[in-house]
Amino acid sequence: MLYLDNAATTRVRPEVREAMLPYLGDRYGNPSSHHTVGEAAARTLTDARHRVATALGVRPADVVFTSGGTEADNLAVKGLAIGAALRRGIPVHVVTSQIEHEAVLASCDYLERVHGFAVTRVGVDAAGTIDPDAVAAAIRPDTALVSIGYANNEIGTVQDVESLAAVARAAGVPLHLDAVQAAGWLPLAGTGADALSLAGHKIGAPQGTGVLAVRARLPLEPLLHGGGQERDRRSGTENLAGAVAFATALELAEAERADAAQRARSLRDAFVARVLALVPTARLTGHPTRRLPGTASFTFSGTSGEAVLLELERRGVVTSSGSACAAGSDEPSHVLIACGIGPTTAQTAVRVTLAHDHATPLDAVADALAASVAAVRSSR
């Protein structure tokens, strides 16, 4: 069975398992405990924090360990917006886009519903590209945060984050980048963002590990209250093994990023060309060139995406129709709808995403995909 749903989750790397294993065994101290075992754990946590900070080009004090990308997004969007509102004494305004991950969009919905904040959701073009000028036009005097995905998890479109950062900086508004899908493929340091969300299980660390890198000077209201861990930004006993795993995976991903991206891009482009040749009615979604190196997403009119996926699995290929966080929903993808794709066509989507170490051609996968599409069409 060939697994090609790496945007949903990746396997834990052997080096990461080896690095974290001692902290699942004898080195089990609580970093907050004031004895030798706890102090050793605290030193390990500090080391992991410094390693993450170095890889991201931020200060160690900026690194907050979380339970994953969803928590990191929630903490960034809710924490920064509520922190700004508390400082100003009034509800504030948030700018995001229509194609964000559910963790960002649901956080914005919460801010509207519970706190009375205003939210502007900027539209995108047919390729899923966000116009920095549209973001600039959406910013108001009471805007407290701009939250944008670095690269889209469904269609792979990569945003012009440098221009978005310049727009936010000119307006004096913090920029949060959801970089969960970008990690291991795109540069993370030097984006100009004030906050960056990451998930360990996208880069070879276990599920349930993540980081929010957020400038320590920004007012950040915690979502979890208790013992005041993570500089009062995220209470709860730290996941020591998870922090070590995340730091190890991030270092490996950064060291291999350029080679992994070049290899995946070549494999992806050959795969896309073969699919489009075999299935002339297929449509590649997302930006044709400014996209994640390991992502190819298509729609196949006259099919059902879920039926095609079942046919593909029968042929030994496991992949997905889009975001794993929306799996099981009968609703068409909000990302594809925002790109102007109709609901019926949106439900025919199939997404193939490579691992960072994938090294074999995808000709057989393209052939299996074409055969699966043909089988579904013939049965309708």
Query: By the 8 A CB rule, do 215 and 62 touch?
Result: yes
Cα-Cα-Cα-Cα dihedral sign, residues 269, 270, 276, 277: positive
Structure tokens at 330: 């009968």
The residues near 313 (Cβ < 8 Å, ≥ 6 apart) are 1
Catalytic residue among 40, 186, 224, 325: 325
Structure tokens at 124: 């995108």
Integer Cα distance of 123 and 188 in angstroms: 25
Integer Cα distance of 356 and 205 in angstroms: 13
Half-sphere exposure of 293 (CA within 13 A, CB side): 22
The residues near 286 (Cβ < 8 Å, ≥ 6 apart) are 127, 128, 152, 154, 155, 156, 157, 295, 297, 339
In the block, which residue shows the tokens 């991030």? 250
The verdict on whether 339 is a catalytic residue reads: no
Parallel, antiparallel or unpaired: strands 2-3 and 295-300: unpaired
Structure tokens at 179: 């970089």
The secondary structure of residue 151, as a DSSP letter, is: B
Integer Cα distance of 70 and 102 in angstroms: 9
Quote the Cα angle for 183-267-295, to 5°: 40
Integer Cα distance of 124 and 130 in angstroms: 5
Structure tokens at 92: 């504030």
In the block, which residue shows the tokens 């964000």? 100
Sheet holding 93-97, edge to edge: 63-66, 210-214, 195-199, 175-178, 143-149, 93-97, 118-122
Structure tokens at 140: 């108001």
Q: Which residues are catalytic?
A: 325
